[in-house]
Amino acid sequence: MNTPVRPQHSGLPAQVWLASRSPRRLELLQTLGIQVEVFLAQNTPEAEALEAPFENEDPLLYVQRVTQLKLDTALNAMREQGLSGLVLAADTTVALHGVILGKPQGAAEAFDMLSSLSNTTHEVHTAVAGAWLNTHGATTTMTNTVQTSHVEFSTLPDTFIQAYISSGEPFDKAGAYGIQGIAGQYVRHISGSHSGIMGLPLFETSELMRHIQTVAQKSN
């Protein structure tokens, strides 16, 4: 009988709180065998407001700022509810020539985004921030990381773009596409982390969780 590989075998925590609505991040964390509890501190409009970029904001600084805001918001709400444990927050942004491509607000914007990505290479930045919240409501350790990948698209036919927009898939995704979906057929090359492009770089996130857990255990 095969014995399953459990989180503790690789130094990972058995359970974490995920401050994210993303089903992709949830699924990625669960592949590590970790029990994941989703914690949503805000409703959808309030959460979307946190992601508003400043004018001409650098994409790398933007994604780190937003991720920290998400973590801080979750920690404050968890303190109020008397919850504790390892908490993770993350954000992903797509950038082309230094310009942030967020979630499209309509079909025309989605078409423009996808057309601009056609036959070119863009960056995908995913930031992850985590903290250990103890039973007294104190944060014993907090850290963050960011992973950047480069994604090269081949030519996206207008017929595909229109059909893709009609499917509704682009509208909840930065850059108007998801690499794990049907748009992946036009990805010619990636340099970086496939899971990071999906929304949570597993290598960097695992290293971050191990560090947080180690520091938290030493402080107890």
| Amino acid 18: pLDDT | 98
The pLDDT value recorded for residue 184 is 95
- Output the average pLDDT for the chain: 93
The total number of structural domains in the chain stands at 1
Average pLDDT over residues 38-43: 86
Per-residue DSSP letter, 84: -
Whether 136 is covered by a domain: the verdict is yes
- Where b means 16+ CB within 10 Å and e means fewer, 2-21 reads eeeeebeeeebbeebbbbbe
Look at the alpha carbons of 59, 62, 66, 71 in this order and tell me if their dihedral is positive or negative. Answer: positive
> Does some domain include residue 1?
no
Catalytic residue among 58, 72, 91, 172: 91
Q: What is the pLDDT of residue 44?
A: 65
Is 91 annotated in the active site? Answer: yes
Residues making up the chain, counted from first to last = 220
Q: Could you tell me if residue 144 is inside a domain?
A: yes
Is 2 inside a domain boundary? no
pLDDT at 43 over 90: no
Q: What is the CATH number of the domain that holds 120?
A: 3.90.950.10
- The string of pLDDT tens digits covering residues 90-135 is 999 999 999 999 999 999 999 999 999 999 999 999 999 999 999 8
* pLDDT at residue 220, as a whole number: 66
Asked, for residue 180, whether it belongs to a domain, the answer is yes
Write out pLDDT tens, residues 160-218. Answer: 999 999 999 999 899 999 999 999 999 999 999 999 999 999 999 999 999 999 988 88
Residue 102 domain flag: yes
Task: Report the pLDDT value the prediction gives residue 185, as an integer from 0 to 100.
Answer: 97
Residue 42 confidence (pLDDT): 74
Residue (of 90, 98, 101) closest to 174 by Cα position: 101
Q: Residue 178: inside a domain, yes or no? A: yes
Structural domain range at position 132: 7-219
The pLDDT tens digits for 56-69 are: 999 999 999 999 99
Q: Is residue 95 part of a domain?
A: yes
Q: Which residues of 163-189 are buried (b: 16+ CB within 10 A; e: fewer)?
A: ebbeeebbeebbbbbbbeeebeebeee
